[in-house]
Amino acid sequence: MKVGVIGSGGRENAICHNLKKSTKIDKIFCFPGNAGTASIAENIDFDLSDFENFKKFILNNQIELVIVGPEKPLVEGIVDYLEKFNIKVFGPNKIASQLEGSKIFTKKLCEKFNIPTAKFGIFTNKIEAKKFLENSNFPNVIKADNLASGKGVYICNNFEESNVAIDEIFNGKFGKANNLLIEEFLEGEEMSYFVISDGKTIKNFGTAQDHKRVLEGDKGKNTGGMGAYSPSRLTSDELENKIIQKIIRPTLKGLEEINTSFKGFLYAGLMIVNNEPYLIEYNVRMGDPECQTILPKLKTDLADILLACCDGKLDDVDIQWLNKKSLCVVLCSKGYPDSFLKNIEIENLEQIEISDTNYLFHAGTIKKNNKIYAVGGRVLNFVSVSDNFSDSKKNIIDNIKRLNWSGGFYRKDIGYKVIKK
């Protein structure tokens, strides 16, 4: 069968890589893809806001399954549109995608169904938001309501930092903002928890710890993600049961009450406080770089899982995993997450050792005239799977040194909480 994967990041490279192993799949299209997907799929540069022409391409090329990687087309309703033409699509519909598309939508759902989360206030303008700060405790968390590529969150330690956050959000740093959230700061440890659902059945799809901050020691500005490791060190049967019963199931019940269901990957960003889970936010797709960290441990055919999901038969699939430790380090363009140089050639890629346990997934890259160029902030994802995190980390650092790319930088402390010095 032919499949189409929407997206251009490391997540989509990892998805294509995994699908390529399936005996069911003859051809993969990637829209628009990157230099990494180019070696395993046919990259098609497409305006994904043009649903009509995209639909025509899918039908004309007899693509039997479309997998939506990033959040933007999901929130804009691409699943709803394609399904009207009986095209099989993996991903949640437009209403369910509001779990990520609007933080206020999710907070109100939490409020109604007693889902544990940080206390919050919703503000529609600068004046009332800043007035609220006068009686606020610090640190606090200020969030843009809309999609912000993982960067629209500020942890503010004082009145001045909070003022800057409010100004930047309402001034349109992350697109037009009609609302923002001010939340209490929860003291604990973050955890990424993934499930997959066909609208009826839910199954665990791994845990991870993401490193969002650009600088070592989890300092500096927020990014799309500088690296991750899986599984989370907090994982336990007791905690997982709490997450499912207190957070995931009430969320899906809430969606049912507004006459919708959730089909796809659901990513719960959690804060664990004294072994109790609190929902920070939802993403309605696999995380990036968590996806690159988790998928190499998957033993079951990914195509079988996604097709079963689309057919409402997820309960029939036994999802099996390698009992291994996986770690991912993201190599970024110098200057990221602020302005950075583009179209910088990446040499020495042939020096990187790729194997069944060591992977390289491309993100912000393109291929021109048989050369690879960096065009994004997050450029390459180095992943290694082994019996322990220390070995995984060593394998990655060795590969980064082989690359020796002067245009990039990376955090050298990814996984520091699970790697003893």
pLDDT 10s digits, 301-323: 999 999 999 999 999 999 999 99
Q: Do 295 and 221 share a domain, yes or no?
A: yes
User: For residue 293, what pLDDT is reported?
Assistant: 98
Is residue 100 a part of any domain in this protein? no
CATH number for the domain that contains residue 179: 3.30.1490.20
Query: pLDDT-derived band of residue 78, with 50, 70 and 90 as boundaries?
Result: very high
Contact 317, 139 (CB under 8 A): no
pLDDT at 137 over 90: no
Instruction: Say whether both 300 and 211 belong to one domain.
Output: yes
Q: Is residue 303 part of a domain?
A: yes
Distance of CA 338 to the CA centre of its chain: 20
Pair 333, 308 in one domain: no
pLDDT for the residue numbered 177: 79
Nearest-angstrom CA–CA distance, 124 and 111: 19
364 and 386 fall within a common domain: yes
Specify if 173 maps to a domain.
yes
| pLDDT at position 179 | 86
CATH number where 339 lies = 3.90.600.10
| Structure confidence at residue 150 (pLDDT) | 66
Q: What is the CATH number of the domain that holds 214?
A: 3.30.470.20
Average pLDDT over residues 200-210: 97
Let me know whether 195 and 132 are in one domain. Answer: no
Query: Is 101 contained in some domain?
Result: no
Confidence of residue 149 (pLDDT cuts 50, 70, 90): low
399 shares its domain with 339: yes
- Over residues 380-393, the mean pLDDT reads 98
| Higher-pLDDT residue of 176, 279 | 279
- Do 287 and 332 have their domain in common? no
Residue 135 in this model has a pLDDT that exceeds 90: no
Contacts of 417 (CB under 8 A, 6+ apart): 189, 209, 233
pLDDT at 421: 66
Verify that 153 and 195 share a domain, yes or no.
Answer: no
H helix or E strand, kind and range, residue 171: none
Question: Using an 8 Å Cβ cutoff, are 223 and 378 in contact?
Answer: yes
- At residue 145, the pLDDT reads 84
> Are residues 308 and 227 part of one domain?
yes
Same domain, yes or no: 28 and 74: yes
The CA distance from 28 to 100, in Å, is: 27
CA 348 to chain centre: 28
pLDDT in tens, 226-276: 999 999 999 999 999 999 999 999 999 999 999 999 999 999 999 999 999
Place of tokens 């072994």: 275
Q: Are the C-beta atoms of 326 and 387 separated by less than 8 Å?
A: no
pLDDT band at 134 (very low <50, low <70, confident <90, very high): confident
Inter-CA distances, 310 with 16, 44, 68, 144, 298, Å: 18, 24, 12, 32, 19
Q: How many domains does the chain have?
A: 4
Mean pLDDT of the chain: 95
**pLDDT at residue 288 in the model:** 96
Same domain for 203 and 177: no
Give a yes or no: residue 259 inside a domain.
Answer: yes
400 and 331 Cβ atoms separated by less than 8 Å:
yes
The answer to whether residue 109 is domain-embedded is: no
Unique residue bearing structure tokens 């038969």:
313
Cβ atoms of 5 and 29 closer than 8 Å: yes
Domain that holds residue 71: 2-94
Residues 199 and 297 in one domain: yes
How would residue 146 be classed by pLDDT, with cut points 50, 70 and 90?
confident
Task: For residue 101, name the pLDDT band (cuts at 50, 70, 90).
Answer: very high
- As given in the structure block, the two tokens for residue 315 are 């309960």
pTM of the predicted protein model: 0.94
* Burial group, residue 18, by CB count within 10 angstroms (0-12, 13-18, 19+): middle
Amino acid at 155: I
The one-letter amino acid at 36: G
